[in-house]
Amino acid sequence: MSWFEEESKSRCMTRDMAWDRFIHKCQKKPTKRVLRIAAEDYLGDLLQEIRWMGDRWIVTIKGERSHPFKRLVDPKILFLDQEPKDGRWFEIWVKGKTVDIITRRQDELTNNIASGFARLVARFWEGKLEEG
């Protein structure tokens, strides 16, 4: 792989691992029920489904994953053939006064939607947002 291909790959890749957005020390305690309502209203027509999976909400967004650079660089360096095919979704975990919004191997759009929801949660429940 040439230097240019390697450099393009690093700038074009979406996150391969999980991306956590922790909201700590919320002044008001968020509950499962109100987080579900907030997610429903935040996503509006984009929402496909929200379901409780034992210890977290799984929030599914309409549409298939996309890649903003798939027509701009050689598709082979993006490993698009290895991308998961399970659609767009993120998780909402809540424990006490802490909320964790997680994406796992998602596209740019889904990651940004989840980050926006995390900022909304931090603002409304007056918590400290930490992403990483």
pLDDT at residue 24 tops 80: yes
Other beta carbons within 10 angstroms of residue 2's beta carbon come to 8
pTM confidence score:
0.83
Tens of pLDDT, residues 104-120: 888 889 999 999 999 99
Domains held by the chain: number: 1
Task: Find the domain containing 13 and state its range.
Answer: 3-131
Tens of pLDDT, residues 76-104: 666 555 555 678 999 999 999 999 999 98
Amino acid at 54: G
The percent of residues in the chain predicted with pLDDT above 90, rounded, is 63
Dihedral angle over CA of 50, 52, 53, 57, nearest 10: 60
Q: Cα separation of 100 and 15, whole Å?
A: 17
Beta-strand ranges (E) seen in the chain are 18-24, 47-52, 57-61, 88-95, 98-104, 128-131
pLDDT at residue 11 tops 90: no
Q: Cα separation of 109 and 123, whole Å?
A: 21
The percent of residues in the chain predicted with pLDDT above 70, rounded, is 80
Answer whether 78's CB lies under 8 Å from 9's CB: yes
Amino acid 83: pLDDT: 59
72 versus 62: the higher-pLDDT residue is 62
Say which CATH number the domain at 55 has: 3.30.310
129 versus 64: the higher-pLDDT residue is 129
| Tokens representing residue 55 in the block | 């210890």
